């Protein structure tokens, strides 16, 4: 299971990086890739009280289509954590690259 999550995070990073390369405006590409990374790399419990983890994107998809809704705000916290972690590491990378 650990190999799956490592592969998932690596793929999330590469998808976000490829998304960054699509934009000619550097700031817009940076911001949109960080948001995409936060959305793709965020994981949370499938439903409240569960021990199973799933990506936020799949939980959003299931709650909009099949499964009963447990609220979207519970997914906002892991998205923000992933967003700020991605932003932190991206800013460190940019500062080290400029030096």
Q: Which two tokens stand for residue 57?
A: 């994107």
pLDDT of residue 13: 92
pTM of the model: 0.81
How buried is residue 45: exposed, middle or buried, by Cβ count under 10 Å (0-12/13-18/19+)? middle
- Per-residue pLDDT at 9: 93
Integer Cα distance of 18 and 23 in angstroms: 10
pLDDT of 39: 92
Angle, alpha carbons 78-79-80 (nearest 5°): 90
Residue 99: per-residue pLDDT: 74
Residues of the chain with confidence (pLDDT) below 50: none
């Amino acid at each position: 299971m650990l190999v799956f999550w490592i592969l998932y995070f690596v793929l999330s990073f590469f998808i976000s990086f490829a998304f960054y390369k699509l934009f000619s405006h550097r700031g817009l590409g940076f911001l949109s890739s960080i948001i995409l990374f936060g959305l793709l790399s965020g994981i949370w419990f499938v439903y409240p009280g569960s021990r199973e983890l799933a990506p936020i994107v799949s939980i959003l998809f299931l709650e909009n289509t099949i499964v009963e809704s447990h609220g979207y705000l519970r997914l906002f916290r892991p998205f923000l954590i992933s967003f700020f972690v991605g932003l932190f590491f991206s800013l460190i990378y940019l500062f080290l690259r400029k030096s």
